[in-house]
Amino acid sequence: MSQSKDNIIVQPIDLTAYDKEFLHLSGAIQPHGILFALKEPQLEIIQVSNNTFELLGFQPQEILHKSLKELLTPQEILFIEGCLLKDFESVNPIKLSLNKSTKIKDFDGILHRCDGILILELEPKITQEERDFIRFYHFVKGAIAKMQNAPNLSELCQNITQEIQKLTGFDRVMIYQFDGKQAGKVVAEQKREELTAYLGLHYPASDIPEQAKKLYTLNRLRLIPDIEAQPKQLIPSHNSITNKPLDLSYAILRSVSPCHLEYLKNMGVTASMSISLNKDRKLWGLIACHHYSTKYVSYEIRTACEFLGQVMSLELASKEENESLDYRIKLKTIQNKFLEAMPLAENFMEGLVKDKTNLLELVDAQGVVICTDGDLAIAGNTPNKSDIYDLLAWVEAKIDNDIFYTDCLPKLYPTAERFKDVASGLIVLSISQIQKNYVLWFRPEVIQTVNWGGDPQQSVRFEQEGRLSPRKSFELWQETVRSQSLPWKPCEIDAVLELRSAIVSIVLRKADELARINIELARSNNELDAFAYIASHDLKEPLRGIHNYSNFLIEDYAEILNAEGVSKLQTLVRLTQRMEDLINSLLHFSRLGRVELSVQQIDLNELVSNVIDVLSISLGQTDVEINIPRPLPAIYCDKVQVSEVFSNLITNAVKYNNQATKRVEIGFLDGDRTSKESPTVFYVKDNGIGIKEKHFDAIFRIFKRLHTVHKYGGGTGAGLTIAKKIVERHDGGIWVESTYGEGSTFYFTLQGKGG
Amino acid sequence: MAEATQTLLVIEDSDEDFAAFERILRKASINNVVYRCVDGDEALDFLRHNGQYQDRTKAPRPGIILLDLNLPGTDGREVLEQIKQDSELKMIPVVVFTTSSNPKDIEVCYQCGVNGYILKPIDVKKLMRTVQVLIDYWFEAVILPNSVRG
């Protein structure tokens, strides 16, 4: 019932039942050695394997309940007794000669204790190898040096398969590695040339049952010299100390599970050996050896192999760590590239979008989507856009601590079954949930990812012969990994989270900069504000002097001066007044942005009617018709400022108008009624002189005038600039449509509801 | 006329503004004695009888002070503050007569206890009207503190 590496090739049987078998209590051993269960201290033989006659020439009953002392020389007994006081397992194997044996005389004796019972296993010494330290040292010295020098895990694996094959002469030596879900893969292989390659093949986790895995960790080396050999029962089946079958967990001769034997047969394997590779006390993988005829490996060679397995187990940790370190360094390098590039981009999302290749490499994904406020930037293989939007809607609630990831999306989100070939694996990184900024990485179903090892055509041959083939096992493996991607590595998840914190720190830094700029801006605004008042004062003082003195000159010397002189002085007075208007406009404009808006709900009908009342005083005799086709809505705005907008626009409509009857229409457009948010568009329409299209923008610039000072009643050219600023402060826009010579319509938007 | 005894202190750095002011008074036949200081320090000396104004006959206590805000040296705002913190001087009405329409200035002056804040108009006719109203109000409508003591 033991399994060896050979389980690699799977058999479609009920593995659950297999899992429940008590592999270590089989009560039988492989027939190439003898097992004694001994009761201490007299070393009474309480159980013995039923093959003493074949190997020793006498029946088991003859020695049952006798002491081991009757089989061995006093020196050997003395030696064994000496061992028992110490760490006796380190002396294995003990060279024993059974003087009572009429057949094989020389044995390797292997001692261990289990459940308080001393177990002695005897393996015939078939070869004449000298058990000397120097020879063992030479066996392993070169191999260990090669393993240690291997630059990476894959070469380490390759090296050890070569060394083991050299040492043992097996037809095929493989490294079989378990993944995170205990599915396995052949990662290295050394074989006779004519054999089919198994390298790269994957196998389901169920290939090696838990029970078997436990035995692999207990017993680091397992040899099956001949699968055809009949197992030998222990006599009696229960031992007298525990009244149970003997626990053979540590017995090297433990018999093989019938299921496992079946596997090996199906594969055409006759002998096998497996060496456990452990990392962090867990089974990491196996060194699996196959032979296509019977093959016995001496205890000595096995010890060397086991030793190499242990060295490799030690090396694994550092090699894997190095490998993951290399990978982490690579991820870090990619990250750094982002960090360098991102601050240069307009915003961080653009920084990400620019370098999609690195973004893919950052987590070894095949597809990536950057979602910025509903816009998608896509690279590599991803679901289509509408699927991505649906997926985002689903995943938003799943994001925890800014990240969500899975390697089996279709299991959590059945819709994904449709696009599992690109998106069985998903990472969603939330950069800003409020602004809906996400990065999504996709990995395909693992079946799309894995390379088929060996030539599938070649394996068909096995099937024709009615045997299990690696091909079939691959199919079984496919079944078990359907709708899954390769798992996301912790360092990849870390890299994604680090990317996020880097982005956040950049955003924060930008926010800091912005805050600093704002403080600076506020300061310079204050200075400008003060400057505007001081400038207006300092400018006005000489202006007042010029104005007053010109007036005084006219008053005092009008009779002396001729008409032209008086006219010039009058011009001087007019110019000073104009200059004051300009200074006042500038001051008014500069203050607009500084005064807090006092927003409240305002009835525009009332507001416009007030404006018209005020204007009618200054309009005097002019023939003006103001038409408001339908009542205006109430809106949230600053009453004083919006009054000024209407006042400016109505004044302009009348001022820039050479019609006998000047018509002004004030109204609003029917906007998008479905959206309460959309602002209302108001208009002020006139039958005036119109504006050429090329001036449409210019008219809103401060002090930009289209006409001479004397035409159309003058003005400072600040009215529209002020109107524009007010509308913009209300988050609106202002624009003009006009036909030159026929009239103009000024449009502006103000928020309809809630300001 | 009792009103004619009231004097006026004008604190004004601009010669042109002062000349215009005097001219308007003259044209309006206003005969009040007008003293002028050109900056804040001089004004404070005048009011406290320091420096060149130790002779009290040359620097009588004015019935009212017209104060320009933007002055060289000690600023008009500071002059106002000093006057209004002085237990003797604070009784003299101070009217700020300035070009500055800065709401901050207006607020600060009233906080300090100014008695009036008038903007200097550029238009000469408006200026005349303003000065006339100012004189009428302070020298005819109002009873000034120093007239009580007299």
Asked if B122 and A549 come within 8 Å (Cβ–Cβ), the reply is no
Q: Do A541 and B101 touch (CB under 8 A)?
A: no
- For the segment A450-467, the average pLDDT, to the nearest whole number, is 44
Work out the angle at residue A75's Cα, subtended by the Cα atoms of residues A70 and A81, and round it to the nearest 5 degrees.
Answer: 80
Task: Report chain B residues whose CB lies below 8 A from the CB of A580.
Answer: 122
Largest Cα span, chain A: 163
Q: How many CB atoms lie within 10 A of CB A256?
A: 27
CB distance A195 to A171 below 8 Å: yes
| pLDDT-derived band at A4, boundaries 50, 70, 90 | very low
Asked if A749 and A733 count as a contact pair (C-beta separation under 8 A), the reply is yes
Residue A192 has what DSSP assignment? -
Distance of alpha carbon A674 from alpha carbon A46, whole angstroms: 94
**Per-residue model confidence (pLDDT) at position A642:** 92
Report how far residue A681's alpha carbon sits from residue A19's, in angstroms, rounded to the nearest whole number: 77
> Residue B87: helix, strand or coil by DSSP?
coil
Q: In whole angstroms, what is the distance from residue A653 CA to residue A664 CA?
A: 7
| A333, two tokens | 């390098």
- Is B101 within 8 Å of A587 when comparing Cβ atoms? yes
pLDDT confidence band for A467 (50 / 70 / 90)? very low
Percent of chain A with pLDDT over 90: 24
Q: What are the chain A neighbours of B128 within 8 Å (beta carbons)?
A: none
Check residue A3 and give its pLDDT. Answer: 35
Span A133-177, pLDDT tens digits: 667 777 788 888 888 888 888 889 999 999 999 889 999 999 988
pLDDT digit string (tens) for A102-134? 777 788 888 898 888 999 999 888 665 555 666
**One-letter amino acid for residue A538 of the chain:** D
What is the three-class DSSP state of B126? helix
Q: Which residues of B touch A587 (CB under 8 A)?
A: 101
Nearest CA in chain A to B101: A533
Beta pairing, strands A172-178 & A282-291: antiparallel
Of A406-410, A514-518, A589-593, A750-754, the range with the lowest mean pLDDT is A750-754
Interface contact A533-B101, CB threshold 8 A: yes
Q: Residue written as tokens 């108001």?
A: A682
| Mutation target among B107, B122, B126, B130 for the A interface, most CBs of A within 10 A | B122
CA distance A386 to A178: 38
For testing contact with chain B, the best of A526, A531, A533, A555 (most B CBs within 10 A) = A533
Q: How confident is the model at residue A674 (pLDDT cuts 50, 70, 90)?
A: low
> Residues 615-644, chain A: which have Cβ within 8 Å of B?
none
Chain A residues with CB under 8 Å of B105 CB are: 533
| pLDDT beyond 50 at A461 | no
Strand order in the sheet with A375-380: A375-380, A367-372, A437-443, A425-432, A403-406
A-chain residue closest to B21, CA distance: A548
What are the tokens at A648? 């400016």
Per this entry, what is the length of chain B? 150
Cα–Cα distance measured from residue A122 to residue A136, given in angstroms and rounded to the nearest whole number: 21
Structure tokens at A510: 């930008």
Under 8 Å CB-to-CB from A238, ≥6 apart: which residues? Answer: A244, A245
- Per residue in A237-272, pLDDT (tens digit) is 888 888 888 888 888 899 888 778 877 887 788 999
Chain A residue with minimal CA distance to B14?
A541
Q: What is the structure's pLDDT at A453?
A: 43
pLDDT tens digits, one per residue of A272-303: 999 999 888 888 999 999 999 999 988 888 88
Q: Do A537 and B100 touch (CB under 8 A)?
A: yes
What is the distance, to the nearest Å, from the Cα of residue A163 to the centroid of all Cα atoms in its chain?
Answer: 39
Q: Which of A526, A537, A543 to mutate to test the interface with B (most CBs of B within 10 A)?
A: A537
What is the mean pLDDT of the segment spanning A428-454?
78
Torsion of Cα atoms, A213 then A215 then A219 then A225, to 10°: -90
Single out the residue of A62, A55, A60, A116 nearest to residue A84, CA to CA: A116
Distances (CA, A) of A295 to A32, A108, A171, A196, A301: 11, 17, 10, 20, 13
pLDDT at A663: 92
Residue A578, min C-alpha distance to chain B (Å): 11
Please answer whether residues A4 and A222 qualify as being in contact, where contact means their C-beta atoms are separated by less than 8 angstroms.
Answer: yes
Cis omega before residue A383 (within 30°)? Answer: no
Q: How far is A602 from chain B (nearest CA, A)?
A: 26
What's the DSSP call for residue A343?
Answer: G
Inter-chain residue contact A533 with B100, CB threshold 8 Å: yes
What average pLDDT does the segment A390-395 reach? 91
Distances (CA, A) of A319 to A153, A322, A326: 5, 5, 10
Task: Select from A569, A550, A544 the least CA-distant residue to B21.
Answer: A544
Q: Do A547 and B98 touch (CB under 8 A)?
A: no
Asked whether residue A206 carries a pLDDT value surpassing 80, the answer given is no
Query: pLDDT digits over B96-133, tens only?
Result: 999 888 888 899 999 999 999 999 888 888 889 999 99
The three-state secondary structure class of B96 is strand
B19 min Cα distance to partner chain A (Å): 9
Rounded to an integer, the average pLDDT of A691-705 is 81
Q: What is the 3-state secondary structure (H, E, C) of A286-338?
A: EEEEEECCCCCCCHHHHHHHHHHHHHHHHHHHHHHHHHHHHHHHHHHHHHHHH
**Higher per-residue pLDDT: A129 or A529:** A529
SS3 content of chain A, % helix, strand, coil (to 5): 50, 20, 30
Give the pLDDT band (50/70/90) at residue A9.
Answer: very low
> Which token pair is B67?
């104060």
Q: Are A537 and B20 within 8 A, CB to CB?
A: no
DSSP-derived secondary structure letter, A48: E
B16 vs A580: CB contact, 8 Å cut-off? no
Determine which helix (DSSP H) or strand (DSSP E) holds A603, and give its type and residue range. strand A599-603
Q: How far is A525 from chain B (nearest CA, A)?
A: 15
User: Is pLDDT above 50 for A353?
Assistant: yes
Identify all chain B residues contacting A556, using CB atoms and an 8 Å cutoff.
none
At position A534, the amino acid (one-letter code) is: I
Start-end of H helices in A342-419: 348-354, 356-362, 385-395, 409-412
pLDDT at A509 over 90: no
A537 touches chain B (CB under 8 A): yes
| Contact across the interface for A544 and B20, Cβ inside 8 Å | yes
Distance from CA of A595 to the nearest CA of B (A): 11
Q: Which of residues 493-532 of A touch B (CB under 8 A)?
A: 530
Given CB atoms, is A535 within the 8 Å cutoff of chain B? no
Distance from CA of B105 to the nearest CA of A (A): 10
Low-confidence ranges of chain B (pLDDT < 50): 1-4, 150
Asked if the Cβ–Cβ distance from A580 to B98 is below 8 Å, we say: no
How confident is the model at residue A34, as a pLDDT? Answer: 93
Of B17, B23, B100, the CB nearest to A544: B17
Of A541, A576, A577, the CB nearest to B99: A541
Query: SS3 string of A673-728?
Result: CCCCCCCEEEEEEECCCCCCHHHCCHHHCCCCCCCCCCHHHCCCCCHHHHHHHHHH
Residues of B in contact with A596 (CB under 8 A): none
Q: What are the tokens at A273?
A: 């050996």
Could you write out the DSSP letters of every residue in A226-283?
-TTSPPEEEESSB-TTTSSB---TT-TTBPBPHHHHHHHHHHT--EEEEEEEEETTEE
A536–B23 C-beta distance less than 8 A: no
Write the DSSP symbol of residue B117: E
C-alpha Rg value of chain B to the nearest Å? 14
Which positions in chain A touch B20 (Cβ < 8 Å)?
Answer: 544-545, 548-549, 552
Closest CB to A540: pick one of B23, B102, B122. Answer: B122
Q: For residue A673, how many other CB atoms are within 10 A of its CB? A: 7
Burial degree of A701 (CB within 10 A; 0-12, 13-18, 19+): middle
For chain B, give the longest Cα–Cα distance. Answer: 39
Q: Which two tokens stand for residue A291?
A: 């032979």
Candidates B99, B109, B120: best to mutate against A (most CBs of A within 10 A) is: B99
A545 has a chain B CB within 8 A of its CB: yes
DSSP string covering A86-123? S-GGGGPSEEEE-TT-SS--EEEEEEEEETTEEEEEEE
Of A549, A577, A587, the CB nearest to B122: A577
Q: Mean pLDDT score of chain A, rounded to an integer?
A: 82
Q: How far is CA A179 from CA A10, A94, A159, A160, in A?
A: 17, 39, 21, 20
Q: What's the pLDDT at B9?
A: 95
Question: Which of A542, A544, A552 lies at the smallest CB-CB distance from B23?
Answer: A552
Mean pLDDT of A707-719: 72
In chain A, % of residues over pLDDT 70: 88
- AA identity, residue A456: P
- Band the pLDDT of A2: cuts 50, 70, 90: very low
pTM above 0.90, yes or no: no
CA dihedral over A267, A270, A276, A277, signed as positive or negative: negative
Helices (H) and strands (E) in chain B, counts: 6, 5
**Are B17 and A534 in contact (CB < 8 Å)?**
no
Whether residue A488 contacts residue A407, with contact meaning beta carbons closer than 8 Å, is answered with yes
Average pLDDT of span A599-619:
87
Residue with the two structure tokens 């296509």: A292
Report chain B residues whose CB lies below 8 A from the CB of A585. Answer: none
